[in-house]
Chain A
Amino acid sequence: MAQPKKTFRWQNVEAGVNRGYAIGVLVFLLAPLFVIVPLSFNAEPYFSFTDKMLTLNPDGFSLRWYRDIIDNPQWLEAMGNSLIIAIASTALATVLGTLAAIGLARSNMPYRDFFMALLISPLVVPIVIAAAGMYFFYSSVGLAQTTLGIIFAHTALGVPFVVITMTATLSGFDRNLIKAALSLGANPMTAFYRVTLPLVAPGMISGALFAFAASFDEVVTVLFLGGPEQRTIPRQMWSGIREQISPTILAVATILIIFSSLLLLAVEMLRRRNAAHTPQR
């Protein structure tokens, strides 16, 4: 792509102003993350940088808040609960969402727009309304205060991510490839496993990662539906922030930041791979 700023001098000035402003916005976006990480190594129970930290005195730093996490069985239990719920609801959302997306991507899907809107609606319905509805209904069928109830809730909330990424992936998918495989003698199953799946797998995995991240971060349905047995990481953080905010939360937050960075990098790599396979349209 041609670089207009080399051709027009006025754009140098404009680009300079724009760059400064944009960098300011980027700093606003990233500042919270980059402040929380060093603060989690604070030797003092404060939420601000101490003089020792500012002068990079090693005494000002410590791992005590990380030790707190390991010493506290509640955090470890919460981690286990979060993982179980996130993995189960991601698996369910990915299977259901992928099937539905394959249907939605076909041209003969009746009332396509309506169903698409319905299946994506958990993304926009205010979470408190969804959680309140689930609270009454799940209580009446015995799913309240169970892990299964929260898995169902998180599946419903994660499904839109799978549907969105999968329909986007499938819209770039050339169905002639399947026809070609079939005409060359592959049976439909072989065609699916050898042709369709490898091409749509990146979209499927990134949809799954989105659903996983959504479940791993979800707190409102857990607040409404979960009992003491279903305390998850976000639930622990919620009560930590509301009751007694201690720097242990910053240590947990740092771990979660590292975790989400890894998820993001995985999704980005998948996207690049996917972009390389899909023809530009």
Chain B
Amino acid sequence: MSAHQGAKLAEQFRQSGKRARRGTFLLVLPLLAFLMATFIFPIGAMLNRSVEDPTVATLLPRTAAALRSWNGKGRPPFSAYSALADDLKRANLEGTIGKVATRMNFERAGMRSLLIKTARVAHTFELPYAQAFNAVDLQWSEPELWGALRHASASTTAGYYASALDYSRTADGKWHQRAEEDQIYVTLFIRTLWVAGVVTGLCFLLGYPLAYFIAHLDERSRNLVLILVLLPFWTSLLVRTTAWIALLQTNGVVNDTLAAFGGERLDLIHNMTGTLIAMTHILLPFMVLPAYSVMLSVPPALTRAAISLGASPWTAFWRVYFPMTLPGAAAGGLLVFILALGYYITPALVGGRTGQLISNMIEFHMKTSLNWGLAAALGGILLGGVVVLYILYARVVGLNRLRLG
């Protein structure tokens, strides 16, 4: 075979390899396209709302332009007053003032009513405009108010992320974090991390010994007990949550039992305790199953060898068995932690006021306060954390180790 033919063959080989790779990718493509359209793109577009902020720039365009030339120090330029009078008049006519007012209210409490009140009389304003504004409400003489308008008039903003971390800013644009006792979202993020950590710890304390027990049963009873572990795993989340309400409420089974033995009734639900109990219960199988499958792969001869070499049973367990099974438990723990961070249903139903997590706050801003930018920023921070941990899971544990039951 000549060198020329060899090169041709190599080229053909490469071509067919390329074709085969393309064919393989085509198998994945339909699902990828489907998820892009129904899941990934919608989430991306939603997160975009955390930085985009077109309301004031488009609905009060002249004001936005006039304030852009102002450095935020001292009094705003006169052009801003006349521009705002003009914009408010138009917004009132076109019925868009409500949108602007709602948007500005996120920036500064009380601005909704102020803007609506001012817009209603803006058509009567005459020179000098500054006095006309102050005649409606003295708040218009405060530079901070104009500063808030100026910040909102840019079409992109870091403001939602700042609010999501409890930062607010003065008229000249300096950031400062709220005092610790006034912080809402940072407190909630910390609480969410804390709950995820405690639930992971509880799952380990309950799940590791259970997995050990199952792994050391004979095969028949092992399958039976595994089914018992999987049964709650398969049972509807709402069913399990309902069950915990029935069990833990003031006149529920647990408290009735306590009372029958002369004990005091405890507040076990509609608070943090309820959230922790129900979440641990729901996430426990995610810890037991990976720990169990790793334990099955540890040859029993190893601990026996350690003991025959003079280790105490405890040393044999602690120095030989535990390090070998830790990866399974850690994999389970990481998954539990990731899932716990985004928990919504259980805290919403059994968390009461004190057991709410960050997801519940996102839902509140989505559906009740309608502050979608803030909801998106809170979601962006939460999702960022989850994605980092997910990548860690994929790298360290491996996604092919993810098994369901």
Contact = CB atoms under 8 A, between A and B. Distances in A.
B247 to A, nearest CB: 6
Nearest to A153: B38
Contact of B235 (A96, A118, A256, A271): A256
Contacts of B338: 124
B313 A119 contact: no
> Interface residues of A: mostly helix, strand, loop or mixed?
helix
A249 B38 CA distance: 32
A110 interface: yes
A108 B402 CA distance: 22
Interface in A46-80: 46-49
A6 B372 CA distance: 63
B344 A220 contact: yes
B42 A136 contact: yes
A47 B391 contact: no
A189 interface: no
Contact of B21 (A2, A19, A110, A132): A110
Contact of A134 (B42, B234, B379, B394): B42
Interface string B378-405: 0100110010001100100001101111
A41 interface: no
Given A128-B363, A129-B382, A245-B245, A96 B30 contact: yes
Contact of A129 (B21, B43, B281, B360): B43
Interface string A187-223: 0000000000000000000000010010011011000
A226 interface: no
Contacts of A186: none
B234 A263 contact: yes
A137 B42 contact: yes
Given A26-B210, A125-B383, A260-B235, A132 B375 contact: yes
A238 B238 contact: yes
Given A25-B209, A118-B40, A126 B349 contact: no
B344 A127 contact: yes
A177 to B, nearest CB: 19
Interface string A1-45: 111110110110011001101100110111111011001000000
A237 B238 contact: yes
Interface residues of B, number: 98
B326 interface: no
A80 B166 CA distance: 45
B383 A36 contact: no
Contacts of B24: 103, 106, 108-110
Contact of A108 (B21, B228, B382): B21
Given A129-B382, A253-B236, 18 more contacts: A26-B228, A29-B228, A32-B244, A116-B394, A116-B399, A119-B32, A119-B35, A126-B342, A128-B366, A133-B42, A133-B46, A164-B404, A219-B345, A253-B239, A253-B243, A256-B235, A260-B231, A260-B239
Interface of A: 1-5, 7-8, 10-11, 14-15, 18-19, 21-22, 25-26, 28-33, 35-36, 39, 46-49, 96-97, 99-100, 102-104, 106, 108-110, 113, 115-122, 124-130, 132-138, 152-153, 155-156, 159, 161, 163-165, 167-168, 171, 210, 213, 216-217, 219-220, 224, 234, 237-238, 241-242, 245, 249-250, 253, 256-257, 260-261, 263-265, 267-268, 271
9 contacts: A33-B231, A117-B399, A120-B402, A126-B343, A127-B342, A132-B363, A234-B236, A234-B238, A271-B405
